[in-house]
Amino acid sequence: MRKIIHIDMDAFYASVEQRDFPEYRGKPLVVGGSPNSRGVVATASYEARQYGIRSAMPCSMAAKLCPQVLFVPPRFDAYKAVSIQIRDIFRRYTDFIEPLSLDEAYLDVTTDKLGIGYAMDIARQIKEAIHEELLLTASAGISINKFVAKIASDMNKPDGLTFIGPSRVERFMEGLPVEKFFGVGKVTAAKMKQLQLFTGADLKRLTEADLVRLFGKSGRFYYRIVRGIDDRPVQPDRERKSLAVEDTFSKDLIHMDAMEEELGKIASKLASRLKKSQLKGRTFTLKIRFADFRLITRSHSLPYYTDDSEEMLAIARQFLQLVVAQDPMPIRLLGISVSNFDNIPLTPSQLKLF
């Protein structure tokens, strides 16, 4: 039986800012945009969360909820440096580390380097090392699989340590609200509740065929996980699946010239990041958020790999022109992402989109 730990740093960006700048300590703090911008909250300190401020909330709303909240721009280089230090601590105990982001990761400690043997003790030591060496706190969830460990790490934040052992897993899953299940967003949760499915126990009463009929391929996952079955391994060398650059504008874009100018900046920045990461991709996606908050995406896959800004800009521009011709609504956000990576460039053929 596997021993899985999920480590999740507490209010990571905000906590790093409060650690590095004493004047922020004990005060409601938002890392993200400014109250007069179209930006959103990247992370809110726990002092800010007491006012109802949450990640992904518009900064303007955060300012209304807490007029005295402090806004600071993100320092991603600083957060990345701290993330590397955290992973160095993880490596003292195991090489089976699957980072999910800068501030969270799965660890498989079924066999640990130090021969400690007990996942709870390992998690406790990791938390102590993070606190003593980096002056930050983390929450840890421990269980027999990734899904339950991740849920457990969120149960007693901040500075939590939660163990859900083998004998408790199935009962725990039965009592879990459906909105806590992987892949269950607001729309799916609402659908489930309309069907009188409120907890894992309710899902468990349905057959696998019923769940697939109602929820597609995710139904198979629900059927297994509510029974405590999650065979996904911790993947130490999890490959980056995509890379994206986007920008939210202080004023909605109305004219095509302004839109194309912003797209050019985004494509240039994305190309720079691809080259820095020594990656080439062949699937490019344009992301558009309108002034009324509707979001659309348009994707195209090339027959070869590239990191060229002009090529990705050509794809994005053609999609943009088509979208705007069909829907001239002002635009508040544009973004370009690339996926389907390969390090080996192939011979380009003529670019044809349509």
Pairing of β 138-143 and β 161-163: parallel
**Element at 109 (helix H, strand E):** none
Torsion of CA 37, 289, 219, 54, to 10 degrees: 10
For the purposes of burial, counting CB atoms within 10 Å of the CB of 239, is it exposed (0-12), middle (13-18) or buried (19 or more)? exposed
- 104 catalytically annotated: yes
CA dist., res. 119 & res. 109, Å (int) = 7
DSSP label of 54: -
CA dist., res. 2 & res. 234, Å (int) = 10
**Element at 283 (helix H, strand E):** strand 280-290
CA dist., res. 263 & res. 63, Å (int) = 30
Indicate which residue of 104, 133, 208, 246 is catalytic: 104
N- to C-terminal Cα separation, the chain = 52
Active site (catalytic) residues: 104
